[in-house]
Amino acid sequence: MSIDQPVIRRFPLSVLPVWLLVSVGAVLVVLLAPSGQRLSWMPIVLVVGVLATFVIQLALDEKTGLVNRVIISLSGSVLILGLVTALLPLFALQTR
């Protein structure tokens, strides 16, 4: 894959909004959900990220690199939610 392929040029346009959406969703879950239900809301945030990924990717006219952009977008979403989930015990200690 060369640098001039559309997957590189479309990366910020197609992946970063999903990561931002998942990050905001995770922060809202931490701030608004009761501590006993936070883990129940994380899969819902991931589903919203998956749906947003497919909506954005299908809205783009570029077929080249579609699978790579989807994988990058979803992998980043899972990593963000994994990090927030790993830090949940710290948030629970602060809310007591």
CB of 21 within 8 A of CB of 48? Answer: yes
DSSP state of 34: -
Cα dihedral 63, 67, 73, 79, rounded to 10, equals: -170
**Domain definitions of the chain by residue range:** 35-96
Region 56-73: mean pLDDT is 88
Per-residue pLDDT of 22-46, as tens digits, reads 999 999 999 999 888 999 999 999 9
Residue 23, amino acid: S
**HEC string for 32-48:** HCCCCCHHHHHHHHHHH
Task: List the structure tokens of 5.
Answer: 């392929």
pLDDT of residue 63: 80
Global model pTM greater than 0.85: no
How many angstroms separate the Cα of 15 from the Cα of each of 9, 35, 63, 89, 94?
A: 11, 30, 15, 29, 32
